[in-house]
């Protein structure tokens, strides 16, 4: 069926356009914070609730909006950043399209309170779903406050694609970190559900911002970078090779103060670290790139996250060589201070630890042996003194109390027994024949039986290997067809398998085994954990903290 071509109404147009600009709550925060910076703000506060779905409040101390221009600010393509097409060739502001406010107002309930420095009072303007609800005069400080409530309240199809509150808050946290790193001259305050997550001082020190976000451990492993040529300036910090991640979350860069994602910049950073990092590891970098507007095209996408360079190869070369020079000028091997060699004391004869007990144990044994010898030998001594010595009496007493000849404990006990006469002077060796103790005689058969039982049990049992996985990684046939032919740098295994040659990272293989062990224990609910002393302290950024909180139950089930 043939359908006629019609012109869409303004409400539909606004909602379609809003889909390009407002993708999620973080998109709203990005557009409004950029407007605040374009207004000359030196302090910006961002507050969100429920991941930005129910409330986003952004307050700045910028120049504000005149009362008679507030309505116009929410019209599509209304902007104060450019006036004619030629202005697109040298854009110096973060915003310029005039689409942000109209797009945000089309899919949410917006309230704005603003005042300029010259005005006696401010104004309050409310617009919901693109429909104006009111404009009134109000007392307000200089600057602008935007309150965005119930995002996508009139477009349920869009809201159902939003992720959890924690995930959406994580996107905003990451955005605020990028904004703060790109603009150390501005004080940013980020509040999430009533808790301050980030607060920078705005003292122009990018290193201080890095410290606020990433902590002391990372900050002290940085290399400062600064280079410039005839068309661009590159400055910032790069991390030593010890700072690496398994993803690109540590790669931060901005172009003319605009946080972007660009393949040329990313490739230049990672190529500069080749030879310094292991494979599948990514470096730490916080870079600021500045160039003339005519060498840069930011009008690629309404979200303004993509840029095009007119001299892409020169941009690559500048970043690549700048990072390479910073890495090669620094000694990457950590310094280790060695103490002066001390004179070694005279070498003593080695003493077997097995034959000498610990001091406290020796004293205890000595005391116990002395008491035992005293109590058991007293009848013999008394009988001898009374002239009633009996060979049977002496033999019975001696059979229980006479220690082994070479026993150091017994010898020590007898030597220290000052009040007990020496047995050799009391009873001669001829009178008291040597006799085995009852305990020795009785224990011998039991020990023999026990030993034979253990030997027979051990011989009957076949060696077993703990099953680390539900299914073996290599079948019996595969195990017989591979051969370990060597090891390189104590890190890589060289394996020959049929017609192929493999280089295996043994540390990665070990990590895989540990991972499979942990997963298997989790599935069988046999996770065993214990406290580490001292504990390992891990520094997390805002986004990682949000992920930890979101999956806290899962981490707990894994034993953490």
Q: How confident is the model at residue 357 (pLDDT cuts 50, 70, 90)?
A: low
Q: Which of 57, 71, 75 is nearest to 124 (CA)?
A: 71
Alpha helices in 93-215 (DSSP H): 100-106, 156-159, 165-182, 206-214
Q: How confident is the model at residue 439 (pLDDT cuts 50, 70, 90)?
A: very low
| CA 141 vs CA 61, 68, 120: distances in Å | 8, 18, 10
**Residues across the chain:** 560
* The pTM of the whole model exceeds 0.85: no
Q: Which of 477, 498, 495 is nearest to 485 (CA)?
A: 495
Helix, strand or coil, per DSSP, at residue 367: helix
Judge whether residue 435 has pLDDT over 60: no
Domain with CATH 3.30.230.10 in the chain: 221-329
Peptide bond into 534 cis (omega under 30): yes
Domain with CATH 3.30.565.10 in the chain: 10-199
Tokens 């991941």 appear where? Answer: 51
State the Cα–Cα distance between residues 45 and 147, nearest whole angstrom.
12
Q: What is the pLDDT of residue 452?
A: 45
What is the Cα gyration radius of the chain? 40
Q: What is the pLDDT of residue 463?
A: 44
Going by DSSP bridges, is the β-strand pair 285-291/251-255 parallel, antiparallel, or unpaired? parallel
Across 537-558, average pLDDT:
82
State the Cα–Cα distance between residues 433 and 391, nearest whole angstrom.
10
Q: Which of 56, 37, 64 is nearest to 122 (CA)?
A: 64
Tell me which DSSP letter residue 67 carries. Answer: G
- The yes or no reply on domain 221-329 and CATH 3.30.230.10 is yes
CATH architecture of 10-199: 2-Layer Sandwich (3.30)
Judge whether residue 167 has pLDDT over 50: yes
Per-residue tokens: 335: 């310094």
Looking at the DSSP assignment, which residues form a beta bridge with residue 252? Answer: 286
Judge whether residue 427 has pLDDT over 50: no
Helix, strand or coil, per DSSP, at residue 72: helix
415 CB-contact burial (10 Å; exposed 0-12 / middle 13-18 / buried 19+): exposed
Question: Considering the chain, what is the average pLDDT of its residues?
Answer: 78
Dump strand ranges (E) for 32-186.
Answer: 43-49, 55-60, 109-115, 122-128, 131-138, 143-149
pLDDT digits (tens, 9 = 90+) for 192-233: 999 999 999 999 999 999 999 998 889 999 999 999 999 899
| CA 127 vs CA 71, 75, 199, 426: distances in Å | 9, 12, 30, 114
Q: What is the percentage of the chain residues whose pLDDT exceeds 90? A: 40
Q: What is the pLDDT of residue 440?
A: 39
Q: Which residues contact 455 (CB under 8 A, 6 or more apart)?
A: none
Judge whether residue 365 has pLDDT over 90: no
Q: What is the pLDDT of residue 432?
A: 40
Q: What is the pLDDT of residue 520?
A: 86
Q: Which of 286, 290, 319 is nearest to 212 (CA)?
A: 286
Looking at the DSSP assignment, which residues form a beta bridge with residue 285? Answer: 238, 251
pLDDT digits (tens, 9 = 90+) for 270-307: 999 998 998 889 999 999 999 987 888 887 776 678 88
Q: What are phi and psi of 131, to 5 degrees?
A: -110, 125
Across 36-54, average pLDDT:
95
CA triple 179-277-249, angle to 5 deg:
25
State the Cα–Cα distance between residues 52 and 163, nearest whole angstrom.
11
């Amino acid at each position: 069926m043939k359908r006629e071509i019609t012109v869409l109404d303004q409400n539909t147009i606004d909602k379609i356009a809003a889909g390009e600009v407002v993708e999620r709550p973080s998109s709203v925060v990005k557009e409004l914070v950029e407007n605040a910076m374009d207004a000359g703000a030196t302090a910006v506060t961002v507050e969100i609730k429920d991941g930005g779905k129910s409330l986003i409040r952004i307050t700045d101390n910028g120049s504000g909006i005149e009362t008679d221009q507030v309505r116009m600010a929410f019209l599509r393509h209304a902007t104060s950043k450019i006036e004619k097409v030629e202005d697109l060739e040298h854009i110096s502001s973060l915003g310029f399209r005039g689409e942000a406010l109209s797009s945000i107002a089309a899919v949410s309930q917006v309230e704005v309170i603003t005042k300029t420095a010259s005005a006696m009072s401010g104004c309050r303007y409310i617009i919901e779903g693109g429909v104006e609800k009111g404009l009134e005069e109000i007392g307000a400080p200089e600057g602008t406050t935007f309150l965005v409530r119930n995002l996508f309240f009139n477009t349920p199809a869009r809201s159902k694609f939003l992720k959890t509150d924690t995930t959406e808050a994580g996107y905003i946290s990451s955005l605020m970190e990028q904004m703060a790193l790109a603009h150390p001259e501005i004080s940013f305050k980020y509040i999430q559900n009533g808790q301050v997550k980030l607060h920078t001082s705005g003292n122009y020190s990018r290193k201080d911002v890095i410290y606020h976000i990433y902590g002391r451990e990372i900050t002290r492993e940085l290399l400062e970078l600064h280079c410039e040529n005839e068309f661009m300036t590159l400055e910032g910090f790069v991390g030593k090779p010890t700072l690496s991640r398994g993803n690109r979350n540590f790669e931060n860069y901005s172009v003319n103060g605009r946080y972007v994602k660009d393949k040329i910049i990313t490739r230049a950073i990672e190529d500069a670290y080749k030879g310094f990092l292991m494979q599948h590891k990514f470096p730490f970098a916080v870079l600021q790139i500045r160039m003339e507007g005519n060498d840069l095209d930011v009008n690629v996408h309404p979200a303004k996250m993509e840029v095009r360079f007119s001299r892409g190869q020169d941009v690559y070369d500048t970043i690549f060589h700048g990072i390479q020079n910073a890495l090669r000028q620094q000694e990457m091997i950590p310094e280790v201070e060695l103490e002066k060699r001390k004179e070694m004391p005279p070498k003593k004869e080695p003493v077997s630890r097995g034959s000498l007990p610990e001091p406290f144990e020796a004293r205890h044994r000595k005391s116990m042996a002395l008491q035992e010898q005293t109590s058991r030998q007293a009848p013999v001594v008394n009988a001898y003194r009374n002239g009633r010595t009996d060979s049977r009496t002496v033999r019975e007493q001696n059979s229980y109390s006479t220690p082994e000849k070479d026993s150091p404990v017994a010898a020590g006990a007898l030597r220290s027994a000052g009040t007990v006469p020496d047995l050799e002077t009391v009873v001669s060796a001829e009178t008291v024949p040597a006799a085995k103790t009852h305990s020795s005689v009785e224990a011998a058969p039991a020990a023999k039986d026990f030993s034979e039982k253990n030997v027979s049990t051990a011989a009957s049992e076949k060696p077993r290997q703990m099953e680390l996985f539900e299914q073996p990684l290599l079948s019996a046939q595969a195990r017989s067809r591979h051969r370990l032919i060597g090891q390189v740098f104590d890190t890589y295994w060289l394996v020959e398998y049929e017609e192929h040659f493999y280089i295996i990272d043994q540390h990665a293989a070990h990590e895989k085994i540990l991972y499979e062990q942990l997963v298997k224990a989790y599935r069988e609910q046999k996770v065993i954990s214990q406290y580490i002393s001292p504990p390992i302290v891990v520094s997390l950024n805002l986004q990682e903290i949000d992920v930890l909180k979101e999956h806290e139950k899962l981490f707990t089930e894994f034993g953490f």
